[in-house]
Structure 1
Amino acid sequence: MRKRTKARQVALQFLYQMDLRNDEILEQKDTFIESTECCAEVRKYALELIDGCRIYWENINDAIAKVAKNWDLSRMAVVDRTILRIAVYELLYRKDVPQKVVINEAINLGKRFSTEHSGAFINGILDNLKKN
């Protein structure tokens, strides 16, 4: 598995918990990251994703809400919403990752960790964001 793919999975796990438990989980971030059986490069990128999503949380949520036609953010599955946050962060704030890579990675995360329909759902939202 590629390093950034693994980093996205680690970030997904932590941000999923953060979505459910709010900021109380932040004090456990470093312990969580260190407990993963990953190389330093994976842990570094996972931390960048987590920190970036946290810093831009409201902007990311607003961007998703604007393009998620007929979907309220709170009605989305937590896993899908978390994957979208990571992808939107990368699309809007990480110019070092090609858009196609971000979208493909998000679709694959959805297929792997959510429902059989999540890949298409995530693709639709991210495609709308990319167009706008």
Structure 2
Amino acid sequence: MPEPTHNDPPRPEVAVGGVAIDRQRLLLVQRGRGVATGRWSLPGGRLDPGESLAQGVARELHEETGLAVRVLGLCGLAERRGPSYHYVILNHWVVAEEPDAAAAGDDADAVEWVDRAGLERYELVPRLREFLRSHAVLDRLR
């Protein structure tokens, strides 16, 4: 197998995310580092070796928001590519056990529960708004 060069595209990585809705509000985190720093996104990150998808979702949500969650099932898939990254993100519906306890942690600078009208005030990561629309997430928000 040939050695990769600096011009080769990055190898795809599996990532997971959580779509948490409480009182018709969506949980968002402000990215503190990595891709799209400063923008708002669903909480999530790379799947660790040996983790199931549900374990990865629960771990990432806890690390970024401090919340324990119950993972319900797949909401939808997103693919994000750039010159130095290629993520295949499996976003899952989750229910937070104590939603009011959300607090920024790990690589999140802030955490917010946002209603549908409030989404307009946030600088979201590229294509998140389209993901929320096409996977009926917006329909669940007031």
TM-score, normalised by the number of residues in structure 2: 0.32
Q: Which structure: greater helix fraction?
A: 1
Structure with the higher fraction of residues in strand conformation: 2
